[in-house]
Structure 1
Amino acid sequence: MAETAAVLDRADCPDLAARLHAAVDDVLGAYDRKQAVESADREILGCLREVEESCLKNPPQVGQLLQIQRAARMPTTAGGPGELESFAPPTRPGVEIRILPGLTTWLAVIDSIAVVLPKQQDRPERERTVLRAPAVLAVATWAFHQARPAPPLGTALPQLSQLEVRILRCLSAGLKDEQAARRLEISVRTYRRRVTSLCDRLHASSRFEAGVAAAKRGLV
């Protein structure tokens, strides 16, 4: 707990993504990245690969926070005295995904005992590291609960009109409402109404999140 408190004190930036980066970077500096992967780490990485194949259908994306709960192998009732206890096959892991705009990596909290994240951003699907430091676990879990829930897996992507795509581009460019309305040749009132509608369709709580969600989904 002392390590956790120290890292949180140093990561005093009010931005959630920045605090998470600070905690992870602080602990990564104390690790030898050339250490051999332990058996327990291989099990953790195997669980993440299973989630990618069965639920995500691809590697985690930048800005995603995953919480994964592996299912335990439960013993079945023995047939009679003296018989060996058998175990039922494990079920699929439980997975919840949340989105944290501004986070330039992804991470997965598994069983509340380990955090998995990419070692190199240019090879996020191949180079992974497993951390068990209390500081990283505490901040990652806290960030997950503060982040915005992602749309349910399999949710169809919204179809955007040409005007809506242009509005999202104005948002990503940081234009003020009046500037964007003039560029699009619509009234400021219509522009603001369209922006509100887009945020609802993209499950975004702000204009910034709407731009991030659209870019991640390849809508603009």
Structure 2
Amino acid sequence: MVREPALVALVAELFEYFWSAAWAPAEVLPEGEVMTGRQIEVLRLPAAGRTDAAIARKLELSERTVRRLVAELTAGLGAESRFQAGVHAARLGRV
């Protein structure tokens, strides 16, 4: 048991820091289900810095469809940004 006030304060501060930075991924697809090629591309291209217009041209979709797909995948992954959605998907082994 640790009772040293300075050490307890340090451990508590570290816990608070890591707790605030923690990320619990939401499952975008049921276990065992594979993402479609389109979903994978829609996650990869924004992470690579592509704009909605560039993604739409590449995938032969409308910009509105691209924005909707990105928003759905981002929300499903519990991400706060398009780039973060790509990172979360990679951590989950989805892309």
Q: What TM-score results when the alignment is normalised by the length of structure 2?
A: 0.71
Match of 1:168 in 2: 43
Instruction: With a CA cutoff of 8 Å and minimum separation of 6, indicate the structure with the bigger relative contact order.
Output: 2
Match of 2:20 in 1: 145
How many Å apart are 1:200 and its aligned residue?
Answer: 2.3
How many Å apart are 1:136 and its aligned residue?
Answer: 5.9
Tell me: CA distance 1:182–1:145, structure 2 relative to 1, closer, same or farther (3 Å). Answer: same
Distance in 2 (alpha carbons) for counterparts of 1:216 and 1:165? 13
- The structure that has the greater radius of gyration is 1
How many Å apart are 1:193 and its aligned residue?
Answer: 0.2
Tell me: CA distance 1:185–1:136, structure 2 relative to 1, closer, same or farther (3 Å). Answer: farther
SS of equivalent to 1:149: coil
Match of 2:85 in 1: 210
SS of equivalent to 2:93: coil
Tell me: CA distance 1:219–1:149, structure 2 relative to 1, closer, same or farther (3 Å). Answer: closer
Query: Percent identity at matched positions?
Result: 34
Which residues in structure 2 correspond to 1:74-153 (within 5 Å)? 134-135=9-10, 137-151=12-26
How many Å apart are 1:133 and its aligned residue?
Answer: 7.4
Are the counterparts in 2 of residues 158 and 202 from structure 1 also a CA contact under 8 Å? no
How many aligned positions are there?
A: 89
State whether structure 2 residue 47 is matched by structure 1 residue 185.
no
Match of 1:87 in 2: none
Structure with the bigger percentage of helix: 2
Distance in 1 (alpha carbons) for counterparts of 2:73 and 2:20? 25
**CA RMSD, aligned part only?**
2.8
How many Å apart are 1:192 and its aligned residue?
Answer: 0.3
Q: What TM-score results when the alignment is normalised by the length of structure 1?
A: 0.35
Are the counterparts in 2 of residues 172 and 208 from structure 1 also a CA contact under 8 Å? yes
Tell me: CA distance 1:136–1:165, structure 2 relative to 1, closer, same or farther (3 Å). Answer: same
Cα deviations across residues 115-170 of structure 1 (Å, max 9, x unaligned)? xxxxxxxxxxxxxxxxx574464144234135443348xx7265311111111110
**Structure 2 unaligned runs (5+)?**
none
Distance in 2 (alpha carbons) for counterparts of 1:158 and 1:205? 23
